[in-house]
Amino acid sequence: MHKKNTQILSSEEHDLDQAATLLLAGQLVAFPTETVYGLGADARQGQAVAAVYEAKGRPSFNPLIAHLPSIDAAQRYVQWSAQAQTLADAFWPGPLTLVLPLRQDHGISPLVTAGLDTLAVRIPAHPTAHKLLALVDGPVAAPSANPSGRISPTTAAHVSAGLNGRIAAIVDDGACGVGLESTIVGLATPQPILLRPGGLAAEEIEAVLGHPLMQRDAHDALTAPGQLLSHYAPNEQVRLNAMQAKAGELMLGFGAMACDLNLSEAGDLAEAAANLFGHLHQLDALNKPIAVAPVPTHGLGVAINDRLHRAAAPRN
């Protein structure tokens, strides 16, 4: 791939105009959302979407989320349902992605869905993301803006470290507030199913639905293609549920304890989620194995533990 000069843009209006113009011209633009930075491409342009896979080095069977500015916009591409409306009313805009059957004449590149007959849609809550999506006025496919398999980016500097020279621009608007990717709920099956734990706790979704979500079988490749186990991986080994660091290890703590960096001294899961990827990036830069303290397994802790297990999994 030939090197590009990656422009850094601000969240000012004229810079967002420029970002929208680049996207509509089929270029790749990274932008902040409340979860993580996304690597955006116009979802209707096959070449632009192909460039996303190329820039990330992403396996082509892993489908992308279409980002939209409003429910109305989402309804143009997917078959809406009463359940979709209930969840959208409760949680959109926000860190929730819904997988729904594609509509006829949707105009979405098949590279976005990796050939599936469903589409993942999300309306981010971040004001800059919202402004940019409104300017584009079309679906923007956006995976997390990191090389495939590496730690997700929660700042523009993380994006730049992984993708500088491979994409047209980065919209820099500070650190992401949630810090974990969106929770993905499948609504294309008779029962709503949790496809990926994320920045919205499953308990909150279940409270609105009035019943538990189906859990996806870890071995069922069909419902969530490409959810590779080794993902979000630092360069060095990661050891979980460690009470303290061994010689030569760096310690990522949770709760009051001795450590190199702490996800949340107060033991607050939302704070830990927001810090997770940034702290992993920082420790990873020191090129030593990382020991991680136990994190509770309820609420946002489910998604935090999911990402930690992937970081610690044998590499593939």
Residues contributing to the site for Mg ion (CB under 5 A): 144
Cα–Cα dist 166/164, whole Å: 5
By CB under 6 A, residue 142 contacts ligand TXA: yes
**Which residues have a Cβ under 8 Å from the Cβ of 190 and sit 6 or more positions away?**
none
Among 7, 227, 237, 282, binds ligand TXA (CB under 6 A): 227
By CB under 6 A, residue 171 contacts ligand TXA: no
Q: How far is the CB of 144 from Mg ion (least distance, A)?
A: 3
Structure-block tokens of residue 299: 């609420």
By CB under 6 A, residue 155 contacts ligand TXA: no
Q: How far is the CB of 265 from ligand TXA (least distance, A)?
A: 26
28 binds, among Mg ion, ligand TXA, none (CB under 5 to 8 A by kind): none
Q: Which segment (2-10, 76-84, 117-125, 294-302) binds ligand TXA by CB under 6 A?
A: 117-125
By CB under 6 A, residue 275 contacts ligand TXA: no
Beta carbon nearer to ligand TXA, 61 or 212: 61
Q: How far is the CB of 56 from ligand TXA (least distance, A)?
A: 9
Helix or strand run (H / E) with residue 96: strand 96-101
Q: Which segment (14-22, 180-188, 268-276, 302-310) binds ligand TXA by CB under 6 A?
A: 180-188
Q: How far is the CB of 25 from ligand TXA (least distance, A)?
A: 21
Determine what percent of the chain falls in helix, strand and coil, rounding each to the nearest 5: 30, 15, 55
Cα–Cα dist 20/140, whole Å: 10
176 binds, among Mg ion, ligand TXA, none (CB under 5 to 8 A by kind): none
**Which residues have a Cβ under 8 Å from the Cβ of 17 and sit 6 or more positions away?**
135
By CB under 6 A, residue 111 contacts ligand TXA: no
Cα–Cα dist 120/180, whole Å: 17
Say how far residue 113 (Cα) sits from the centre of its chain. Answer: 16
By CB under 6 A, residue 33 contacts ligand TXA: yes
| Whole-number Cα distances in Å, 199 to 182, 233, 254 | 5, 19, 18
**Which residues have a Cβ under 8 Å from the Cβ of 164 and sit 6 or more positions away?**
6
Binding footprint of ligand TXA on the chain (CB under 6 A): 33, 35-36, 38, 62-65, 97, 99, 113, 116, 118-120, 122, 142-144, 181-182, 184, 195-196, 224-227
